[in-house]
Amino acid sequence: MIKTVGLLTRKQGWTHEQFMTHWVEIHAPLAHAVPGLRRYVQNHIHGERTRPDIPATEVEIDGVAELWFDDAAALQKAAQSPEMQALHADGAQFIGRIKSYTVEEKIVVGS
């Protein structure tokens, strides 16, 4: 299993509430059509967890998106699809900045 994790910041001029409404009501349904997408998770931020012994990275984000695929080939195929292109085009409407990573989970606790 491979996934992308994106740290999303709203477009300038958008409130957090406007960002969230668009992300949930308009953007999320588009993900259903992306071929090979096994799971799509929106992580809605409720607060920041800090540690007194480690300084925080300075970044302002409105949400964290996860897109799961069987493998890198499935991700590559999906990335070239018109459905993923439509998802990205919609993202450009409300996402002002993004930092995205392709990751492979290494489960430490749990199944």
Per-domain residue ranges for the chain? 2-49+58-103
Measured CA to CA in angstroms, residue 29 lies from 1, 88, 95, 99, 101 at distances of 22, 13, 16, 22, 22
Please state, in angstroms and as integers, the Cα–Cα distance from residue 30 to each residue in 27, 33, 81, 104, 105, following that order: 6, 6, 13, 24, 25
Query: What kind of fold does domain 2-49+58-103 have according to CATH?
Result: Alpha-Beta Plaits (3.30.70)
Residues 6+ apart with CB under 8 A from 16: 10, 62
Q: So what's the pLDDT on residue 48?
A: 85
Return the higher-pLDDT residue of 90 and 58. 90
Among candidate residues 29, 27, 36, the one with its CA nearest the CA of residue 2: 36
Q: Which has more pLDDT, 61 or 58?
A: 61
Q: Which pLDDT belongs to residue 66?
A: 98
Residue 75 pLDDT > 90, yes or no? yes
- Confidence label for 63 from pLDDT (cuts 50, 70 and 90): very high
Is the pLDDT higher at 50 or at 91?
A: 91
Full-model pTM: 0.90
pLDDT, tens digit, 9 for 90 and up, residues 1-55: 999 999 999 999 999 999 999 999 999 999 999 999 999 999 999 888 889 999 8
Query: Looking at the predicted structure, is the pLDDT value of residue 79 above 90?
Result: yes
